Amino acid sequence: MGVRLMVVDDHRLLAEALASALKLRGHRVLAAAAPAAGAADLVVSRAPEVCLLGTATPAEPGMFDPVAKIRRERPQTAVLVLGPVPSPRGIAAAFAAGACGYVRHDERIEGVERAIMKARAGEAAVAPALLQSAFHALLNPVEQPDDEGQRLLGMLTPREIEVLVRVAEGEDTRSIAAGMGIAPSTARTHVQRVLMKLGVGSRLEAAALAARTGLLERAGSYRSAAPGPGTIERG
């Protein structure tokens, strides 16, 4: 007997292709749409037996709020998360929000269908190894901040952090090079890498982002003592 389904994913083509494949296997797919602010409300109003809900970033804070809303307002709907190769924290977050399973985007249609049948039966639809790691992450949460400033800081090398601090203080490329005892070309390369990693297009944007997220306060200890003027780091 077919399952009454909904497929919701960021990539409309993926959602529609998966919906079509499931229809061919005898399931009734109620909708296939890109997620938006009202995605959870749509699922609640349509009341499918199982919802396949796509996500591109399983560990992003708030990513599974729609799952929690669906489970709170329509507890009889089983929610399967569709996503990339997950981290234990991503799996844990999905289950903590109320999902009953996790299906990778690259799973074969047979695997997706098996997960759907398990979900409808009230079983956990996830590989045992992933489930074990998720429970471990839930029972042993990491005791460290997970805010944007900390995340950005972790993307930069100590040298790049020092460059960012100097950029935020208004130093130009020549001043950065002189202060750090490196060649101007090397300083320019460091600046470009910082902008790229932060996802901004200018030094002003980088400085504003660093100030807004508290990154500068965290980065203060990274400003190293400048080497003597006779020591030049070549890029």
* Cβ atoms < 10 Å from Cβ of 38: 12
Mean pLDDT by 10 residues, the chain (235 residues): 87 86 93 71 91 78 84 93 76 84 87 93 81 64 58 83 88 92 92 87 82 71 45 41
pTM of the model: 0.56
pLDDT at residue 70 in the model:
92
pLDDT at residue 174 in the model:
92
pLDDT at residue 22 in the model:
94
* DSSP string computed for 184-218: HHHHHHHHHHHHHHHT-SSHHHHHHHHHHHTHHHH
